[in-house]
Amino acid sequence: MTEDSPNKQKLTTASGRPYVEHENTQSVGNRGPLLLQDFILHEKMAHFNRERIPERVVHAKGTGAYGTFKVTQDISQYTKAKIFNQIGKECKIFLRFSTVGGEKGSADSERDPRGFALRLYTEDGNWDIVGNNTPVFFVKDPKKFSDFIHTQKRDPRTNLKSPTMMWDFWSLNPESLHQVMILMSDRGTPYSYRHMDGFGSHTFSMINAANERVWVKFHFKTQQGIQNFTGPEADAMRSQDMDHAQRDLVDAIDRKEFPKWSVKIQVMTAQEAKIFRWNPFDLTKVWPHGEFPLIDVGEIELNEIPKNYFAHVEQAAFAPTNQVDGIGFSPDRMLQGRILSYPDAARHRLGVNYEQLSVNACPFITNNFHRDGAMRFDDNGNDSPNYFPNSFGDVAPDLAYKEPAQELDSSLADWYDRNHGEGDNDHYTQPGNLYRNVMNEAERKNLVNNIVTAMSGVSGPKRDQIINLQLCHWFRADIALGMAIAKGLGVDVESAVPKQHS
């Protein structure tokens, strides 16, 4: 404490040295040049120049909160994960919501999928479920991901968002139709993060104590009720409050109206996967609930806004590689690609030691042979061996955590087309069912209006080609849908309806 200010802390440099002149730089006389020796100026400006870490390429705009996960049902027949070994068991969680395509300063109410990235700090390590507010995605092979994201960003010549790029890509990739339909519905503009469902989206595996494997999908059903903006309401909110979803979450938790989600899973056996009419590992498809009903697992509650946004929300780095014993991967192509890309993105954005940051660190013991690297701010392993095997330490693999071998369908490696298998090129049945059987009349009307508005932005010499090709996809999903969109766009139906339907 300073003598004249007993209730205040000393002002210090980053190294801890107290100093006084925080606002005035040392100079030669009142109007003379500044002195190089005033290192406080250097420290302030150098740190300021580096305050912005690289923005996330996707999911740049987001918010997050801490909370708890509580087990409500026994699912030990499916998994040996320790987090599920007792009804009533709880663990700390961190949940980050985000928009996908916009920059960090974009509006929360943009028409965009929403990220739903959940971390559970379990006794067996951190478990990340990195999903969205939709059960499907635009593409099914990770090689196409960067191309897709480029179409959602800015035109390289105009530096403007381009409806032409988006619809050109979608029209040439009919596998995107299911997700595009969801995006163009009112579900593409959630009222808030609290009022939307979340999905693990990918197919994962669960392994029980008998080393039996089943395939699973994760669902997070909001207990606040689904609420969405219509297209015009979302447009209006962008001009009223660009941070509406951020403000809504913070204010709700500050009011102690803690948002909750019911955690559920779908389960598919290996035999069911072999005879399922679609590829169960295809991220553009869902598992119908009538065939694979939702099973209750637990509940998550958000009850703590981080005290510092940057330290926790901005520096959070999720990765589907963060699994725990009893939870595993699947042959889902997009999941396999994210296993590589997500940790790689975090190392680029935050540095190789990003998992030591408090929001990313496992709160329980960790042992490995990683050493050094930028920003290594723990004890760096002290004097323990940095190699394995060795004759001096006591860190060794525990064979109890070994996963059972997985039987593969083929031993032939090739560049298989993503639509190679039976049913893989059926891009229309599920979107059609969504339109006919799930949406009500008002939702269908809003969907058509949103699609017409979005497709009206297509321009350039390829405009008619792009629109007609995309219309063919809408027609194949549902004739009435295609007719309504064609009418809204003023397109001659005879030129747009495909000769044959698949």
* Span 42-71, pLDDT tens digits: 888 888 888 889 999 999 999 999 999 999
**What is the amino acid identity at position 59?**
H
Tokens of 482: 């295609």
Tell me what percent of the residues of the chain surpass a pLDDT of 90.
75
What domains, with CATH codes, occur in the chain? 1-51 (4.10.91.20), 62-155+182-362 (2.40.180.10), 429-496 (no CATH)
- From the number of C-beta atoms within 10 Å of its C-beta (0-12, 13-18, 19+), residue 380 rates as middle
Q: Is the pLDDT of residue 502 over 70?
A: no
Q: What angle do CA 418, 420, 422 make, to 5 degrees?
A: 120
Q: Is the pLDDT of residue 1 over 90?
A: no
DSSP 8-state code for residue 291:
T
Asked if omega into 389 is within 30° of 0 (cis), the reply is: yes
> Which conformational region is residue 169 in: left (phi greater than 0), alpha (psi within -120 to 50 degrees), or beta?
alpha
Q: Where are the alpha helices (DSSP H) in 159-241?
A: 163-172, 177-184, 231-240
Q: Look-up: residue for tokens 């963060």?
A: 322
Question: Is 62:107 a contact under the CB 8 Å cutoff?
Answer: no
Q: Is the pLDDT of residue 236 over 90?
A: yes
Tokens of 107: 């509006």
**What is the amino acid identity at position 110?**
E
CA distance from start to end of the chain: 77
Read off the pLDDT of each residue in 346-369 and give the average, rounded to a whole number: 91
Beta strand 204-207 with 260-268 is unpaired
Q: Is the pLDDT of residue 410 over 50?
A: yes
The whole-chain average pLDDT of the chain stands at 92
Q: Is the pLDDT of residue 452 over 50?
A: yes
- Cα 206 from Cα 188, distance rounded (Å): 31
Q: In this predicted structure, what is the pLDDT of residue 411?
A: 80
Q: In this predicted structure, what is the pLDDT of residue 129?
A: 98
* Span 368-378, pLDDT tens digits: 888 998 888 88
Mark whether 132 is an active-site residue. Answer: yes
Q: Where are the alpha helices (DSSP H) in 393-456?
A: 429-433, 441-455
- Cα 117 from Cα 133, distance rounded (Å): 10
DSSP 229-253: --HHHHHHHHHH-TTHHHHHHHHHH
Tokens of 15: 């190294």
Beta strand 204-207 with 213-222 is antiparallel
DSSP 257-284: ---EEEEEEEEE-HHHHHH-SS-TT-TT
- Cα 339 from Cα 58, distance rounded (Å): 16
Confidence of residue 5 (pLDDT cuts 50, 70, 90): low
**What is the amino acid identity at position 356?**
Q
Give me the residues paired with residue 99 across strands: 114
Confidence of residue 463 (pLDDT cuts 50, 70, 90): very high
Q: What angle do CA 336, 204, 108 make, to 5 degrees?
A: 80
Q: Look-up: residue for tokens 């802390």?
A: 9
Across 369-475, where does the E strand assignment appear?
Answer: none
Mark whether 49 is an active-site residue. Answer: no
Give me the residues paired with residue 75 across strands: none
Question: Is 291:309 a contact under the CB 8 Å cutoff?
Answer: no
User: Considering 24, 47, 49, 59, which one is annotated as catalytic?
Assistant: 59
Question: Is 418:175 a contact under the CB 8 Å cutoff?
Answer: yes
Read off the pLDDT of each residue in 185-213 and give the average, rounded to a whole number: 97
Query: How many C-beta atoms lie closer than 10 Å to residue 75's C-beta?
Result: 20
* Span 101-139, pLDDT tens digits: 999 999 999 999 999 999 999 999 999 999 999 999 999
Q: Is the pLDDT of residue 15 over 90?
A: no
User: Considering 132, 173, 322, 353, which one is annotated as catalytic?
Assistant: 132
